[in-house]
Amino acid sequence: MVRKIDHVAIVVRDADAALKLYSEMFGFEVVETLEGPGGEFKAVLVRVGDITLEFLQPLTDESSYARFLKERGGGLHHVSFETGDIEQEIKTLKAQGRRLINEEPISLPSARIAFIHPGAAENVLIELVQRG
């Protein structure tokens, strides 16, 4: 069962500029900075209160985020929901006949994630995340 919104991801041209803007407007502060696999993107997670945003800056022209930026000019990329049991969430979604991008979780250093296809959720890309 999903517990809460974990974060909202936004594709940006410059993560540092986005951080400065959101910091000045709303007081967001950096929680974590990561580099994607193969150096394809930089991710800067920022938080104020219970709200976490993830700024995704493409670092190569071949990344999916670079294509997103070229096609849409940036903006909302996905909404991430936290779950305590990602395998069960995937199993439930499969049983419902939902279209998934990942049928097995992807392991990251601090979490496991899987994406639900936008066609299964009113044209919104949804990420499931299990932390720890």
Going along the chain from its start, the domains and CATH numbers come out as: 2-131 (3.10.180.10)
* Per-residue pLDDT, 72: 95
* Per-residue pLDDT, 108: 87
Beta strands in the chain (DSSP E): 2-11, 29-35, 41-48, 51-58, 75-83, 106-107, 111-116, 126-131
* Per-residue pLDDT, 38: 84
* Per-residue pLDDT, 132: 85
* Per-residue pLDDT, 111: 93
* Per-residue pLDDT, 109: 84
- pLDDT tens-digit profile, the chain (132 residues): 899 999 999 999 999 999 999 999 999 999 999 998 888 999 999 999 999 999 999 999 999 999 999 999 999 999 999 999 999 999 999 999 999 999 999 998 889 999 999 999 999 999 999 998
Is pTM beyond 0.75? Reply is yes
- Lateral strand order in the sheet of 29-35: 29-35, 41-48, 51-58, 2-11, 75-83, 126-131, 111-116, 106-107
